[in-house]
Amino acid sequence: MKLTPDWLTAPGTQAVIDAIESGGHRAWFVGGSVRNGLLDLDVSDIDITTDARPERVVELAESAGIKAVPTGLDHGTVTLVADHTPYEITTLRRDVSTDGRRATVAFTERLEEDAHRRDFTMNALYAMRDGTVIDPTGEGLADLNDRRLRFIGNARDRIAEDYLRILRFFRFHAWYADPTGGIDPEGLAACAEMASGIDRLSKERIGAEMKKLLAAPDPAPAVAAMAKSGVLSQTLPGADARLLPVLVAIEGGLAPNAIRRLAALGGEGVADRLRLSRAEAKELETLREEMGSEKGPAELGYRHGFEVARDVLLLRAAQFETPLRPQDLHRAQLGGLAVFPIKAADLMPAFEGPELGRELARLEARWIASGFTLTKQALLSL
């Protein structure tokens, strides 16, 4: 089997391989680029593994005029930048010891040892520079062809090496597995048994993984499995997965939004547990507050802009299991474009201090209730 994507023959890609092979070393593409290439999906990162040591990779790259960035020399990783494209180059490795978060590695020259330290069979596929695919575990190609997600070897052993693999198991299931084929029972049982290990992970790693999961076209089956196994409650105490499939169905062809879907899950202290950015935390807080408010579509659009208003309307529709009404979206759009015509200066000096604020709020409420039709003169006459 061979890969035939455009990135394989790109000048930058070939220049990087040429540089490594010029020193008598071997190099293979590995991981997501091979997996997605075989699935004819977009490739965002091109990872390469080699039998050359990291210092040697830097030396060869610089000799070829390629920029080398020592992003993780202790773990065997160097980033090369060729033709404005970054390539992560990692020396073949085997694990010496792990603590569930980090691994102590040793370099190896055997592709099989490197493959067996990876997480899932579909992620342990390699490709030569001509696109020829290599499957060291003997299971990766078959599992990828069947869209079946499985850990390499013993699932518990793989999770013990890095507890983030629990969350990756559900994320990769949402993105790459056949939803009609069910979830691997051995992998699910291992995730349920070892879920407490999630507490040993950094909040940043957990948050990044959850956002990637919820950005999948339809994460609902995977999240339902998380809930059933106890992984969801371990990750987000108080979260409830039941609203998510309804929301996904109502979203239709709308682009996935991880924060909107987080609002549907609920939970306690979500922003802190997932180390959301300030903007993400504010968006999540607004969505959850407005889900239960009495503000109409127009006012939601005016207060928060169309996109937030639309997401609130989606969440409300999911709560009541009703379709999203086009007329409500139209009102939200009008609200998002509306500009309140009254300024504080228009009411001074007749009103000052707290009274000025109250009068502005009163007139704004009347203006919103009118569907934004009252003019400045009409409002001032009130």
The SS3 of residue 95 is strand
- 120-155 pLDDT tens trace: 999 999 999 999 999 999 999 999 999 999 999 999
- 227-247 pLDDT tens trace: 999 999 999 999 999 999 999
Is pLDDT at 97 greater than 80 in this prediction? no
Q: What is the mean pLDDT of residues 82-111?
A: 81
Edge-first strand order for the sheet with 27-30 is 67-72, 77-82, 85-91, 46-50, 27-30, 126-127, 133-134
User: Could you tell me the two tokens for 354?
Assistant: 């707290």
Q: What percent of the chain has pLDDT over 70?
A: 98
| Cβ(146)–Cβ(180) below 8 Å | no
- 256-290 pLDDT tens trace: 999 999 999 999 999 999 999 999 999 999 999 99
3-state helix, strand, coil in the chain (%, to 5): 55, 15, 30
Q: What is the mean pLDDT of residues 300-304?
A: 96
Q: What is the mean pLDDT of residues 328-346?
A: 93
Is pLDDT at 100 greater than 60 in this prediction? no
Query: 153-235 domain in CATH 1.10.3090.10?
Result: yes
pLDDT band at 76 (very low <50, low <70, confident <90, very high): confident
User: Could you tell me the two tokens for 189?
Assistant: 């049982």
- For residues 100 and 61, the model is more confident at 61
Domain regions of the chain by residue span: 1-146, 153-235, 238-338, 341-380
What is the dotted CATH code of the domain comprising 1-146? 3.30.460.10
- Provide the residue type at 170 as one letter: F
Is pLDDT at 99 greater than 70 in this prediction? no
Is pLDDT at 73 greater than 80 in this prediction? no
DSSP string, 214-271: HTSS--HHHHHHHHHHTHHHHHSTT---TTHHHHHHHHTTSPP-HHHHHHHH--SSHH
User: Could you tell me the two tokens for 14?
Assistant: 């070939």
- Provide the residue type at 357 as one letter: G
Is pLDDT at 344 greater than 80 in this prediction? yes
- 12-41 pLDDT tens trace: 999 999 999 999 999 999 999 999 999 999
Looking at residue 187, its pLDDT comes to 97
Looking at residue 1, its pLDDT comes to 85
Q: If 0-12 CB within 10 Å is exposed, 13-18 middle and 19+ buried, where does residue 208 land? A: middle
The rounded mean pLDDT for the chain is 94
Looking at residue 98, its pLDDT comes to 65
Is pLDDT at 104 greater than 90 in this prediction? no
